[in-house]
Amino acid sequence: MVYNCPSHRNSTVDSLILPEFSNRSITLDEKYEYNDDFESMIGMGAFGAVFRGHQKDDKEQSVAVKRMLRVHVKENELKMIRDLKSEYLVGVLDICNFDELFCCLIMELCDCDLDHHMRTISERGILNPGNFRQLLDNIARGYKALYELKIVHRDIKPQNILISYLDESKQIACARITDFGISRTLEDDGTELCNVAGTLFYMAPEVGANLLKTCQYDSKVDMWSIGCLLYQCVTGEVPFDECSLCRLFLYVAGENFEAYDPPELPNETNTEVSGIIQSLLQLDTSQRCTPTQFYDKAMHWSQHIC
């Protein structure tokens, strides 16, 4: 996660990912600098700690520095990250050497993540209409770029949506998908994925069903995660608790889709928004919204709403 929220610092640090702080300024490839101390650490992402840094020749140009063990950075994953060319994805600006064990990904620095915004800015964790519209539009555009690269994110959640504000009003100027640490690319031969990955409350049931039997999945798992995220933005709560999710895993493993009781949205929810969320939260993947359908629905609503 690449954001500038001191309240998100994690004091429980994996010693393999983050050794003791040297409490000194680190220069990377003579192009970037950051302080190797607790105050400069702004988050923990998949497989690495994130620090606030800046360009060496222009300290006003802030960046995020994600320090990772080299064993966690595979060449094919680096290629995937380099291919992310969208203003709605937090891509990598540069890759720098640190030492024999670590390398550093230089990334854009955003104001905060969606989780922080909903917990500290939004009233009761619910996005205002303007922010929701911007979020939906930007997530749809960002995911379209991932889908075109055949990338399955597998961990879309509020903590992995980074936002930048227009000004002090805290209106969202841009929302971007980030943290591709457990993302995978679908092969050209149509091979699907079948291992458990992601965050429970946003995990598609067909992913969790792999705890019971082998269940292949594809990009539609991200559609479910986006549906959970949008539901939370509208209601202030996640759509399913642990017990409900366990039941969904069982339903999918047994192909008992008729037993599914979709979560209800507030009556005042915009009809089109409600339809989008409901189409994303279909248990039967054959009935669930595809990435292309989601993009089309999101663009129609966000661009035509008064």
Query: Which domains, ranges and CATH numbers included, belong to the chain?
Result: 6-107 (3.30.200.20), 112-304 (1.10.510.10)
205's enclosing H/E stretch is helix 205-208
What is the pTM for the complete model shown? 0.84
Does 85 count as an annotated binding residue? Answer: no
| pLDDT class of 185 with cuts at 50, 70, 90 | low
The Cα-based distances of 107 to 22, 110, 130, 177, 298 in angstroms read: 22, 9, 27, 13, 27
Task: Identify the three-state secondary structure at position 185.
Answer: strand
Q: What is the per-residue pLDDT across 58-99, written as a single tens digit (0 to 9) for each?
A: 999 999 998 888 877 766 666 677 777 889 998 788 889 888
Exposure of 262 in the CB half-sphere (CA atoms within 13 A): 18
Q: What is the per-residue pLDDT across 244-273, written as a single tens digit (0 to 9) for each?
A: 999 999 999 999 999 999 999 999 999 999
Measuring CA to CA, which residue among 236, 288, 286 is closest to residue 262?
A: 288
Q: With contact defined as beta carbons under 8 Å apart, do 54 and 34 qualify? A: yes
Q: With contact defined as beta carbons under 8 Å apart, do 233 and 274 qualify? A: no
